[in-house]
């Protein structure tokens, strides 16, 4: 009897761990979900957040794609030096702000799964420090854009828009961006097509699961 009770307790504990590992903020995660994050990365993140609009007036500066494997949840993301696979606890531990879960609407579920497969094929592709679309590298939302476009038979799923690096209501670039691109020896790609986490969060093709 005691051995049986121990076995039952172990099974219950295992189930709780599995649910916890594949859940976030009360939401049971699905393959292809999107996690929107407000990173505390200094002036550059602040500049991104000030010139973009996010769901519910929030300030999203980073995005990752959920990949479920066995009993664990990982995030495929372009961050640091390359596209990489990050355990969910590491991803969620970067910020003190609430992380929001976005999910494509039911009609696009197949597309979400295929977007995960595309993103996995891009692991170790270099990070796009220049934020220039279609240059063989990826920044966070650029990876998501290409993944869903590829899964959508090469038709845009999300929308590219002209980027701006200027302070709202002025013709002046943020000093942080001026210094950043000067160090790269690259012209600021003002008005070039691009995409950001905030824009994706407002897409009519997704819904936020933990408002």
Range of the domain at 72: 2-208
- 79-119 pLDDT, tens digit per residue, is 999 999 999 999 999 998 999 999 999 999 999 999 999 99
Q: How confident is the model at residue 13 (pLDDT cuts 50, 70, 90)?
A: very low
42-51, 69-78, 148-157: which has the minimum mean pLDDT? Answer: 42-51
Q: How many domains does one find in the chain? A: 1
**Number of alpha carbons in the 13 Å side-chain half-sphere of residue 180:** 16
Cα separations in angstroms, 96 against 39, 40, 42, 92, 99 = 8, 8, 14, 9, 9
Order across the sheet with 100-104: list the strands: 82-87, 72-79, 62-69, 34-37, 100-104, 206-208
- 28-55 pLDDT, tens digit per residue, is 999 999 999 998 777 888 888 888 889 9
Taking the C-alpha atoms of residue 211 and residue 208, their distance in angstroms, rounded to an integer, is 6
pTM of the model: 0.88
CATH code of the domain in which 161 resides: 3.90.1720.10
pLDDT (0 to 100) of residue 2: 41
pLDDT (0 to 100) of residue 94: 92
pLDDT (0 to 100) of residue 11: 36
């Amino acid at each position: 009897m005691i051995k049986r009770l121990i076995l039952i307790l172990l099974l219950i504990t295992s189930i709780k761990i599995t649910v916890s590992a594949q859940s976030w903020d009360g939401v049971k995660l699905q393959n292809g979900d999107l996690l929107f994050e407000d990173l505390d990365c200094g002036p550059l993140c602040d500049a991104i957040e000030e010139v973009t609009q996010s769901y519910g007036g929030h300030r999203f500066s980073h995005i990752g794609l959920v990949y479920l494997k066995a009993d664990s949840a990982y995030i495929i993301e372009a961050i640091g030096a390359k596209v990489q696979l990050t355990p969910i606890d590491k991803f969620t531990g970067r910020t003190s702000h609430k992380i929001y879960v976005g999910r494509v609407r039911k009609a696009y579920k197949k597309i979400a799964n295929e977007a995960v497969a595309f993103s996995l094929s891009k692991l170790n592709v270099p990070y796009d420090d220049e934020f220039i679309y279609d240059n063989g590298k990826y920044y966070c939302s650029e990876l998501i854009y290409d993944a869903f476009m590829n899964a959508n038979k090469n038709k845009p799923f999300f929308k590219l828009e002209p980027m701006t690096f200027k302070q709202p209501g002025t013709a002046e670039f943020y000093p942080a961006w001026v210094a950043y691109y000067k160090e790269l020896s690259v012209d600021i790609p003002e008005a070039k097509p691009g995409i950001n986490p905030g824009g994706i969060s407002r897409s009519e093709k997704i819904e936020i699961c933990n408002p």
